[in-house]
Structure 1
Amino acid sequence: MTYLFLVIGFAGLFIGGELLVRGAVGIARKFGLSPLVIGLTVVGFGTSMPELLVSVQAALGGTPAIAMGNVVGSNIANVLLILGAAAVIAPVGIAFGPLRRDLAVMLAATLALWGMILGGYLGRIEGLILFGGLLAFLWAALRSGTVEANDKLLTLDPPPLWRSGLIAVAGLVGLLISARLLIDSATEIARAFGISEAVIGLTIVAIGTSLPELATSVVAAMRRQADIAVGNVVGSNIFNILAILGLTALIAPIPVDARFAGIDMALAFAAAAGLAFASWKWGRLGRPAGAALLLVYGGYVAAMAVI
């Protein structure tokens, strides 16, 4: 029955995330935001709602290692697994100009988190600093998010505001229920097999909560809407650190397993730095690069299974 609840939790996160994003994009289009900003904020943050709900509930439930592992693991999966899969389907443009500020924020947030957890603890002061960074980022992103005349995403009339709002609320309710099922079943499985909660958070929970990002970016790649795919990943990684860990630490300070400050944060930073470098140097991720990202992620997950 525990495994059934785990599967239901995964499926619920996927469906709830899809509904939330669909509703949120409709609302954003109604207010005239550009596709890149929709990807960075509404879609990127909307697809991170599973991580937020799982992490907060994990902290409140006395399993903070899952909260930290969920965020760090999701940020690794977002670049290596999700952008890798999107690039294999269709080469993804990552023009440096429009993304310069946001890539810098992602790198700075990752580096700041790495420094904060070196002491083995993420307290309320650190949480407040992270959340303050989120508010500053949102202000800057929305301030520059004007619509361009040739934005294909916005050429069609947006759905009625009430319909988008109803869809978004339905998605949020689904996420709340699914997050509870996922966190309870994953914790029970970890304890039954003697697997640490940190490893469960870094792998099973992180992949599960990243399903909305995966679905959104893959669909965006298939529709040749690279702005949404890339903005989704960059926005999610920023939101995961600044909002999720910021809010979680404010609610319940997080004791941090020493392993996070080692290989896990090193890989998270390397993935973010690699994406920024590829954007600056080449401005795109082709199929070979996407395949390489998937191989690196596969190796990381395999290593987690034997550690």
Structure 2
Amino acid sequence: MDLIAHILLFIFSFLILFFSSSFLIESLKKISRFLKWKEFVVSFFTIAIATTIPNLVVDVISALNKVSILAFGDVVGTNICSLTLIIGLSAIISKAGLSVPSRTVQGSAIFTILVAVLPLLLALDGNLNRIDGILLLSAFLFYLSWLFQKRERFEKVYDKDVGSQNIKSFLKHVLFFIFSAVLLYLAGRQIVNSAIFFSKYFYLDLGIIGILIVGFGNALPELSFTLQAARKSQDWFIVGDVMGSVILTATLVLGSVVLISPIENLELSPFFIARIFLLISALFFLVFIKTGKKITAREGYFLVLIYFIFLTFEILTQIWLK
């Protein structure tokens, strides 16, 4: 009975997480229009932060519950999903592929890949301590300083032709944002509780649950947003969101988690397959971005295939270990 209850609560919590994240993203977009934020800021920060909030909520709650390993698995799993399934499906739906001629995107691509694998490098000694957390947060601050160096990146105003909005409408969206954030917190707390229960019930490592289930679930809001953007051919929005999301989860989110609750005696064997596929995903993402400054539909299919191969290997490995 406990198992069925936890499964239902787990699914229900992810549904709340998905819809509240969607509301939060829409609220932030409306707030961005009212404040006349720049297109670049909306893409790389506003939306990336909004789609990363589920990770931040779930992972910080994990840290507060002294199960930071769940957060580590979530970060790895989410970033694999972002660099393969999300960007791949977006390229397929966009038909003409994702065009990425921007110098900012090209430069950010290299940093994105380096940051994506940074947690793996820091964890090689079997620990992620507070010094590692400071290094991750420093990498995030370094990226911010690099982005803000050139003013021309902020010239174009996001959705400037939508018409004026009154202060009443603005305040309504702020309230929606706060309400969505509260729902996110409640859903995140239940997801962590259920993940701990599943780990004990099925004798699974919490890191594996983070990689396969929590990581994918937390990526759903980002997947929904990028697919909508792909239908509108908003290539800059998609690539900016994905890269911003990868950077935020690997630095700001994981760095915050490790500062709250360091991961000691980290057993890396459950992450063997995930580490390999994160490196493969990062490599092909960078190659596709750099060749022709475009991710084609064919390359999108290849990235999606990588994700499903990864899932197959992970699931078969867990079955074999049992």
TM bucket, shorter chain: over 0.9
237, 246, 249: which one aligns with 1:237: 246
5, 14, 21: which one aligns with 1:17: 21
Verify: 1:162 aligned to 2:159, yes or no.
Answer: no
Verify: 1:271 aligned to 2:281, yes or no.
Answer: yes
Aligned match of 1:102: 108
50, 54, 60: which one aligns with 2:54: 50
256, 259, 263: which one aligns with 1:254: 263
How much does 1:272 deviate?
A: 2.4
Verify: 1:285 aligned to 2:291, yes or no.
Answer: no
Paired AA for residue 283 in structure 1: K
Whether the aligned pair in 2 keeps the contact of 1:19 and 1:170 (CA below 8 Å) is no
Paired AA for residue 112 in structure 2: M
How much does 1:26 deviate?
A: 2.4
- Give 1:92-131 correspondences, 5 Å limit: 92-95=98-101, 97-131=103-137
Aligned equivalents of 1:2, 1:261: Cα separation in 2: 25
Change (3 A) 1:119 1:240: same
Q: Equivalent residue of 2:154, what SS?
A: coil
Q: Equivalent residue of 2:204, what SS?
A: coil
Whether the aligned pair in 1 keeps the contact of 2:205 and 2:270 (CA below 8 Å) is no
Aligned equivalents of 1:168, 1:190: Cα separation in 2: 33
* Coordinate RMSD, CA, aligned: 2.0
Aligned equivalents of 1:265, 1:29: Cα separation in 2: 39
TM-score, with normalisation over the residues of structure 2? 0.88
Aligned equivalents of 2:178, 2:21: Cα separation in 1: 11
Q: Equivalent residue of 1:154, what SS?
A: coil
Change (3 A) 1:164 1:43: same
Aligned equivalents of 1:122, 1:59: Cα separation in 2: 12
Paired AA for residue 287 in structure 2: F
Q: Percent identity?
A: 24
Paired AA for residue 244 in structure 1: V
Aligned match of 2:182: 173
Structure 1 residue runs of 5 or longer lacking an equivalent are: none
Q: Equivalent residue of 1:282, what SS?
A: coil
Aligned equivalents of 1:122, 1:213: Cα separation in 2: 27
270, 275, 294: which one aligns with 2:304: 294
Paired AA for residue 98 in structure 2: V
How much does 1:286 deviate?
A: 2.2
Q: Equivalent residue of 1:195, what SS?
A: coil
Whether the aligned pair in 1 keeps the contact of 2:274 and 2:310 (CA below 8 Å) is no
Aligned equivalents of 2:28, 2:148: Cα separation in 1: 15
Aligned equivalents of 1:111, 1:306: Cα separation in 2: 24
Greater CA deviation, 80-89 or 211-220? 80-89
Change (3 A) 1:192 1:117: same
Verify: 1:33 aligned to 2:37, yes or no.
Answer: yes
Whether the aligned pair in 2 keeps the contact of 1:64 and 1:254 (CA below 8 Å) is yes
Greater CA deviation, 174-183 or 256-265? 256-265
60, 78, 82: which one aligns with 2:82: 78
How much does 1:142 deviate?
A: 4.7
Aligned equivalents of 1:112, 1:198: Cα separation in 2: 17
Paired AA for residue 111 in structure 2: V
Aligned match of 1:66: 70
Aligned equivalents of 1:299, 1:28: Cα separation in 2: 38
Change (3 A) 1:29 1:265: farther
How much does 1:269 deviate?
A: 3.0
Whether the aligned pair in 1 keeps the contact of 2:55 and 2:75 (CA below 8 Å) is yes
How much does 1:219 deviate?
A: 0.6
How much does 1:190 deviate?
A: 2.7
How much does 1:77 deviate?
A: 0.3
Greater CA deviation, 273-282 or 158-167? 158-167
Larger radius of gyration: 2
Aligned match of 1:215: 224
Aligned equivalents of 2:36, 2:144: Cα separation in 1: 16
